Chains A and B, each alone.
Chain A
Amino acid sequence: MATVITDQGRVHVDRLARIWEERPGILGWLTTTDHKRIGLMYFFTALVMFGAGGTEALLMRTQLIGPNHHLLSPEAYDEMFTMHGITMIFLFVIPMTTGAFGNYLLPLMIGARDMAFPRMNALSYWIYLGSGLLMYIALAQGHAPNAGWFDYVPLASKQFDPGNNIDYYGYGLIFNGISSTAASINFIVTIFKMRAPGMSLNRMPLFCFAFLAVAFALLFALPSLTVAALFLELDRQLGFHFYDVAFGGDPLLWQNLFWIFGHPEVYIIILPAFGIATAIIPTFTHRRMVFFPLVALGEILVAFLGFGVWVHHMFTVGFATITTVYFAAASLIIVIPSGIQLFAWIATILTGTPDFKTPLLFIVGFIVYFMLGGLSGVTLAAIPFDQQVHDSYYVVAHFHFVIFGAAVFPILGGMYFWFPKVTGRMYNETLGKISFWVTFIGTFITFFPMHIVGILGMPRRNYTYPAHLGWTLLNFIESIGAYILATGLLAIVFNLAISLFKGPAAGNDPFEGDTLEWSTTSPPPPYNYPVIPTVSSPYPMWDKEDRERDNRRLARGEGLLELGHETPATTAQDAIWDEILKMPSHSVWPPVTALTLFGVFFMLVMAHYWIAGGFLVACGLTLIGWHYKGVRV
């Protein structure tokens, strides 16, 4: 039941609207600290990055459509697959899930009016934008990173890669890591401290558990990448010897550090998908999730266990058998929490009354690909098999089923699901279903033959292949599949773009959703909720009496917090109302601070260390400005 506003309530709502009014125009967007606006900026930036990464993929598939093609030179092909990986992982999926979906939806779902640190939230976005620009400036100059997204030394060392391509990679990822670290701190504090009074941890939606797990995984995984990249740049720019065998260094140190980050990263990519699935499934099956506590635990366990499996990326480097066997066993244990969730999703769909609208279709597609990708994952945990197919297209097939089929499908489903909430308009259901089937089939045709071509021995990352090896037909099919897939994705964008202008009004709650965001208007007002919502279960929208109670409180003017940008802070576990916080509104400092940091990292790439130091001092000064103005301190 949606909020009903009486005449008495209208007075309060108008007052809140005045207090929370956003600045108009471009300046309003530059200086905003509203989590919804920041979420939208993340969304559109990540979408552009998705387009860039997709274009790189299509260029590679076009090159490989037949043998001996030379659309891209070997050097350009290296840059393409490197930038494709970096873009899709660091500049598309993470910003799209944590940045866009997390930012926009998480405070709404927990009944808060903003994130815990609104200005730092804006800073995260601007740093992300800066890091994306930094790496695409490299591509525009023809110096894009070119040693793979995993960037193994010694290939990535100064000796074998003397340009500054890799420096863009090293500093770009450190820069990007600042954004993700700040964002994950922000998410954890928001989840722990900003939940509506009454939403104890066990009443928090599963979507939020998934994002909590992601935030913790990011927080502890990123330092490893930062250290690895720092060592790499010290080696490359100042002549240190972390990775140089001749001076007592070890290239395997890079591989270990990279994958200690890199494997948790895989779960950082997939866990938001789990979260989105657990938001969509109950709504369209009209029932609560089965095994709620087990699913919540499963989400957290996947993130936790993900830290103990990294060597399964390195089965061919020559570790002792005891080491590899341990990591193979650890990798297989992940099947348990993943399997619990998989069965819980399927059981919920089977025992509910599923209504296969577009968002649920994408979740079904996600379950199919997660299962297929999971099964090929089990085969890869078998060490002898892994050693045979290592660095072949079999691995490419496996991880694209998982991180495209499984991780991106819920993002696409989520785009449909929350489109009415964000825009106030409905998408076109028929075109939505068509776009699903085209994307689903395109994904299968693109990535399934890669299993076969991989077993036939086709290595990854080769810019072309000879005609007589029996790979030609399968590669042709894969490339056609890629075009079908691209058509499906364009159909989604087309559907949403047209619906933005032509779609019928959606109302507050078109799908009878279960979480709080459906109780407020579409799009939500800057203050999210006129009264701080009452919560007594993880499905607050299905607790009719709570929503009626909120309507009565609005009419009475109770629980409004209308003395400024106010929101409640609660205790971490039981969500007992502890204090009322006044949140900062628009601030010019986040983009300015991000700009100075961009200067620091750009100058480091260019090896102008003194200028970089100057920018760092400037960055410090902006932080003083940050605390000088803004909220009344």
Chain B
Amino acid sequence: MTEPSSRAHRGLHPPQVTRSSAAFTASAAGRVARQRLAQPNGWWGMALFLCAEVALFGTMISSYFYLDFDAHRWPPAGIPDPSVLWPSIGTAVLVAMSVPMWLAARSARAGRRGPVLRLVSFAMVVQGAYLALQVVLLTQDLHKFKPQGSAYASIYYTLLVAHHAHVLFGLLLDVTILVFVSFRGLTNYWLIAVRGLALYWHVVNVIAVFVLVVTLAPSL
């Protein structure tokens, strides 16, 4: 016996609906991903977390300009204008890693584990190199001026280190997800994680551009 189906009650019959958590193989998980009408919960969770992160960086960048507009000279006397070349190259390379991350998310939705592992590993190596370059640049800056020297130095280092912390956190996510996808397989759970990871990096990359432009502003 079936109920008369109305617009209000469509899709009420469980047999038509996927039990997505039961997708334990890459192909099954990929099929579930392609059948979904809406974004999964994990994707939403990451998207909203990133909203908070964007608000966090937005506040720091606003603070940077708030202090800038107060100042007679920005950066203050004795601090050289920030160098443009290496940070720009580094950021360009980092931002380019959105491409392999996007492809990894696409491969995940297609249920192909091999390309996911290769693409995320490649991006991870480059992102790691970016972080190493940034640490070197930061150390060089620290030889020239200390964060305790002025409000400019305080916000400059805080903004950069906050960004680096996000890159480091992304690298830890890369490693964790690579390990789990290698050993557990591309299950529904880890497929959503790969999509979340890609989203994370896209947003970190956009933030990277803003952080670069802001910190280089005195030289531009």
| Chain A interface residues toward B at CB < 8 A | 116-117, 120, 181, 184-186, 188-189, 192-194, 197-198, 219-220, 222-224, 226-227, 230-231, 234-235, 238-242, 244, 247-250, 253, 256-257, 260, 534-536, 549, 556, 558-559, 561, 563, 566, 568-572, 576-582, 620, 624, 627, 631-633
- Contact yes or no, B8 A198, CB < 8 A: yes
- Contact yes or no, B151 A181, CB < 8 A: no
B32, B172, B184: the one contacting A633 at CB < 8 Å is B184
Complex alpha-carbon distance, A617 and B11, angstroms: 45
Chain A min CB distance to B171 (Å): 12
Main secondary structure on chain B at its contact with chain A?
helix
Complex alpha-carbon distance, A235 and B184, angstroms: 45
Interface bits B35-79 vs A (CB < 8 Å: 1, else 0): 011111100110011011101101110010011001100001000
- Contact yes or no, A257 B63, CB < 8 A: yes
Residues on the A chain within 8 Å of B48, using CB: 184-185, 188-189, 219
Does B144 touch A at the CB level, under 8 Å?
A: no
- Contact yes or no, B41 A620, CB < 8 A: no
Residues on the B chain within 8 Å of A197, using CB: 9, 11-12
Given A193-B38, A633-B180, also A227-B44 (CB < 8 A): no
- Contact yes or no, A239 B45, CB < 8 A: no
- Contact yes or no, A570 B176, CB < 8 A: no
Complex alpha-carbon distance, A256 and B37, angstroms: 42
Complex alpha-carbon distance, A89 and B11, angstroms: 43
Complex alpha-carbon distance, A186 and B45, angstroms: 7
| Chain B interface residues toward A at CB < 8 A | 1, 3, 8-14, 17-22, 24, 32, 36-41, 44-45, 48-49, 51-53, 55-56, 58-60, 63, 66-67, 70-71, 76, 147-155, 158, 172, 176, 180, 184, 187, 189-190
Given contacts A193-B41, A253-B67, A580-B19, 20 further A-B contacts (CB under 8 A): A116-B44, A223-B58, A230-B158, A234-B147, A234-B154, A239-B148, A242-B63, A242-B155, A250-B67, A250-B70, A257-B59, A534-B9, A536-B8, A559-B14, A563-B19, A569-B20, A569-B40, A577-B14, A581-B21, A624-B176
- Contact yes or no, A116 B41, CB < 8 A: yes
Chain B min CB distance to A531 (Å): 10
Residues on the A chain within 8 Å of B59, using CB: 223-224, 227, 257, 260
Residues on the A chain within 8 Å of B155, using CB: 242
Residues on the A chain within 8 Å of B18, using CB: 579-580
Question: Which 9 pairs show the lowest CB-CB distances between chains A and B?
Answer: A582-B21, A248-B151, A577-B11, A240-B154, A223-B56, A223-B55, A249-B151, A571-B38, A633-B189
- Contact yes or no, A579 B20, CB < 8 A: yes
Chain A min CB distance to B18 (Å): 5
Residues on the A chain within 8 Å of B45, using CB: 116-117, 120, 185-186, 189
13 A-B residue pairs with Cβ-Cβ distance under 8 Å, sorted by A, are: A117-B41, A192-B44, A220-B51, A240-B148, A241-B151, A244-B151, A249-B154, A260-B59, A558-B14, A559-B13, A563-B19, A572-B38, A633-B184
- Contact yes or no, A549 B21, CB < 8 A: no
Given A238-B147, A257-B63, also A561-B14 (CB < 8 A): yes
B169 — nearest CB in chain A belongs to which residue?
Answer: A620
Complex alpha-carbon distance, A570 and B153, angstroms: 49
Complex alpha-carbon distance, A572 and B39, angstroms: 9
- Contact yes or no, A582 B38, CB < 8 A: no
Residues on the A chain within 8 Å of B150, using CB: 241, 247-248
Chain A min CB distance to B145 (Å): 12
Complex alpha-carbon distance, A192 and B41, angstroms: 9
Chain B min CB distance to A473 (Å): 46
Complex alpha-carbon distance, A240 and B59, angstroms: 18
Given A185-B45, A570-B38, also A253-B14 (CB < 8 A): no
Complex alpha-carbon distance, A567 and B70, angstroms: 54
Chain A min CB distance to B47 (Å): 9
Chain A min CB distance to B40 (Å): 7
Given A227-B59, A579-B18, also A549-B70 (CB < 8 A): no
Chain B min CB distance to A497 (Å): 38
Residues on the B chain within 8 Å of A248, using CB: 67, 70-71, 76, 150-152
Residues on the B chain within 8 Å of A556, using CB: 1
Complex alpha-carbon distance, A239 and B10, angstroms: 62
Residues on the A chain within 8 Å of B3, using CB: 549
- Count chain A CB atoms within 10 A of each CB in B1, B12, B51, B176 and give the residue with the most: B12
Residues on the A chain within 8 Å of B9, using CB: 197-198, 534, 536
Complex alpha-carbon distance, A534 and B11, angstroms: 11
Residues on the B chain within 8 Å of A240, using CB: 147-148, 154, 158
- Contact yes or no, B19 A571, CB < 8 A: no
- Contact yes or no, A581 B20, CB < 8 A: yes
Complex alpha-carbon distance, A533 and B152, angstroms: 58
B3 — nearest CB in chain A belongs to which residue?
Answer: A549
Residues on the A chain within 8 Å of B151, using CB: 241-242, 244, 247-250
Residues on the B chain within 8 Å of A249, using CB: 67, 151, 154
Chain B min CB distance to A578 (Å): 5
A582 — nearest CB in chain B belongs to which residue?
Answer: B21
Complex alpha-carbon distance, A444 and B53, angstroms: 42
Complex alpha-carbon distance, A460 and B40, angstroms: 50
Chain B min CB distance to A38 (Å): 17
Residues on the A chain within 8 Å of B71, using CB: 248
Complex alpha-carbon distance, A632 and B41, angstroms: 17
A223, A231, A571, A579: the one contacting B32 at CB < 8 Å is A579
Chain A min CB distance to B6 (Å): 8
Complex alpha-carbon distance, A364 and B65, angstroms: 47
B44, B63, B147: the one contacting A253 at CB < 8 Å is B63
Residues on the A chain within 8 Å of B41, using CB: 116-117, 189, 193-194, 569, 581
A563 — nearest CB in chain B belongs to which residue?
Answer: B19
Complex alpha-carbon distance, A487 and B36, angstroms: 55
B69 — nearest CB in chain A belongs to which residue?
Answer: A250
- Contact yes or no, B158 A582, CB < 8 A: no
A196 — nearest CB in chain B belongs to which residue?
Answer: B12
Complex alpha-carbon distance, A117 and B20, angstroms: 16
Chain A min CB distance to B193 (Å): 8
- Contact yes or no, B19 A223, CB < 8 A: no
Residues on the A chain within 8 Å of B38, using CB: 193, 569-572, 578
B72 — nearest CB in chain A belongs to which residue?
Answer: A248
- Contact yes or no, B66 A250, CB < 8 A: yes
- Contact yes or no, A576 B10, CB < 8 A: yes
Complex alpha-carbon distance, A81 and B47, angstroms: 38
- Contact yes or no, B17 A580, CB < 8 A: yes
Residues on the B chain within 8 Å of A234, using CB: 147, 154, 158
Complex alpha-carbon distance, A578 and B37, angstroms: 6
Residues on the B chain within 8 Å of A580, using CB: 14, 17-21
B172 — nearest CB in chain A belongs to which residue?
Answer: A620
- Contact yes or no, A227 B40, CB < 8 A: no
- Count chain A CB atoms within 10 A of each CB in B39, B55, B154, B155 and give the residue with the most: B154
Complex alpha-carbon distance, A571 and B70, angstroms: 48
- Contact yes or no, A227 B56, CB < 8 A: yes
Residues on the A chain within 8 Å of B56, using CB: 223, 226-227
- Count chain A CB atoms within 10 A of each CB in B36, B152, B155, B189 and give the residue with the most: B155
Residues on the A chain within 8 Å of B148, using CB: 238-241
A117, A561, A576: the one contacting B11 at CB < 8 Å is A576
Residues on the A chain within 8 Å of B44, using CB: 116, 188-189, 192-193, 572
Chain A min CB distance to B44 (Å): 5
Chain A min CB distance to B27 (Å): 17
- Contact yes or no, A568 B66, CB < 8 A: no
Residues on the B chain within 8 Å of A226, using CB: 56
- Contact yes or no, A633 B14, CB < 8 A: no
